[in-house]
Amino acid sequence: MHNDIVIIGGGIIGMLSAHELSAAGARVTIVDQDGWGQESSWAGGGILSPLYPWRYSQAVNDLARWSQHHYPPLCAALHANTGIDAQWSPCGLLVLDQDDKDAAQQWAADYPMPLELIPPGGDPRFRCERASMNQSTLWFPSIAHVRNPRLLQALHQDLEASDVTFHLRRQVHSFEIADDRVTAAITTAGPVTGDRFLICTGAWTGGLAKTLALDLPITPVKGQMILFDAAPDVVPCMVLSKAHYLIPRRDGKILVGSTLEHASFDKTITSNARQELHDFALSLYPALAQYPIIQHWAGLRPGTPEGIPIIDRHPRLKNTYINAGHFRNGVVLAPASSRLMCNMILDQPLLLDPTPYKIQ
Ligand SMILES: Cc1cc2nc3c(=O)[nH]c(=O)nc-3n(C[C@H](O)[C@H](O)[C@H](O)COP(=O)(O)OP(=O)(O)OC[C@H]3O[C@@H](n4cnc5c(N)ncnc54)[C@H](O)[C@@H]3O)c2cc1C
């Protein structure tokens, strides 16, 4: 089969890029060393905002803003096409940290993003331990989350229905190059040929890019999460404090995350992290003590220095592109990042100024 575009990596970035390219009429193949959507995109929490967005650059906020508007119609279309509901849930985000209230208020006014300052003493709406709200807190009522494993399932089903081909459990270890073009991705099961190649290999991108003589600052950053099997409404909204957070799913399950560990490609889970996340959750919602923890896992974020992804063409190979390095925000940034990448590959007008995302 002739491939217009071969995408390496079937996480949210690879699959949403495929979604964009296939919708524009391209014949797309995805190659993954594992199954589709088994890595960081599955492991993440699905919060549709950077944590403390005022601490990020405009480059990250521009991608987030476009994606936040795009998520409701994307989830609705995938639901209609596949019957799978990614559960886009605008339940709001409560931020308990005191340090940067002024910066947060300025950012919310400029962005713009609805923000309410909750006075000291708390508010029964949040059902949060009173002591944790004894100073004023920040309430962003419109921030949403998605159930990322379901989003991935819906995307996969939609892509299969659109004749996107998946070559799974095939690791790409090198490329065949002629002049200034890649002609094939060489996998553990043989070559996959195509006109253009798009690398969306998340935390593994640094290693693969080296085979194309590129030195990219993308390294794995481990994050551990736990899951409580609670009743709906024990935790009514997302809550963020000291870089840890709770995310309530619609059925009552509560995700608690996350650690930030530089441990190469090791995904081992630890009892220390489980205890840390458990204690954090109970300090805000003591009622969680009566519910069991039913899962504990780790994922590898594609870490980049300021969390700014690389969305660019290879500087010498004219038909090879990279969309990777979304660090802690790959779920929220994915729609804009994939649309911009699709614009570049298909020579369409660009969604955003691509300068901040260029290979340095
Ligand atoms: C604990 C945790 C919590 C998070 N929470 C959030 C959140 O709330 N909101 C948010 O926006 N983001 C969050 N993130 C970040 C987000 O999950 C990532 O930024 C995003 O998933 C990256 O997507 P990706 O497609 O680039 O990478 P991945 O999902 O890791 O996909 C890369 C794919 O490439 C494949 N691959 C790699 N190398 C090769 C090769 N050589 N050949 C073939 N295939 C290959 C892999 O098998 C994998 O399927 C979180 C991440 C973690 C770990």
pLDDT, tens digit, for every residue of 183-239? 999 999 999 999 999 999 999 999 999 999 999 999 999 999 999 999 998 999 999
199 contacts 185 by C-beta, under 8 angstroms: no
pLDDT band at 1 (very low <50, low <70, confident <90, very high): low
Residue 343: CB within 6 Å of ligand 1? Answer: no
Q: 87-124 burial, b if ≥16 CB within 10 A, otherwise e?
A: bbbebbbbbbeeeeeeebeebbeeeebebeebeeebee
pTM over 0.85: yes
Q: For the chain, what are the domain ranges?
A: 5-76+149-217+306-357, 93-142, 219-303
Count of alpha carbons within 13 Å of 359, Cβ hemisphere only? 19
Asked if the domains 5-76+149-217+306-357 and 219-303 are classified in one and the same CATH topology, the answer is no
Return the closest-CA partner of residue 322 out of 345, 347, 299, 303: 345
Say which CATH topology domain 5-76+149-217+306-357 has. Answer: FAD/NAD(P)-binding domain (3.50.50)
**Mean pLDDT lowest for which of 125-139, 151-165, 264-278, 345-359?**
125-139
Q: What is the spatial distance between Cα 21 and Cα 291, in angstroms, rounded to a whole number?
A: 44
Q: Is the CB of 206 under 6 A from ligand 1?
A: no
> For the domain with range 219-303, which CATH number is right: 3.40.50.1970, 3.40.630.30, 3.30.9.10, 3.30.530.20?
3.30.9.10
d(CA 15, CA 3): 16
The rounded distance, in Å, linking the Cα atoms of 158 and 147 is: 17
Q: Which atom of ligand 1 is nearest to the CA of 222?
A: 53
Asked whether 39 lines ligand 1 (CB < 6 A), one says yes
How confident is residue 70, by pLDDT bands cut at 50, 70 and 90? very high
| Confidence label for 140 from pLDDT (cuts 50, 70 and 90) | very high
Torsion of Cα atoms, 352 then 220 then 143 then 312, to 10°: 10
What does the pLDDT read at residue 98? 77
Q: Residue 301 C-alpha to ligand 1 middle, in angstroms?
A: 6
Ligand 1 center from residue 43 Cα (angstroms): 8
The mean pLDDT value of the chain amounts to 96
**What span, in angstroms and rounded, lies between the C-alpha atoms of 203 and 221?**
8
Q: What is the DSSP letter of 44?
A: S
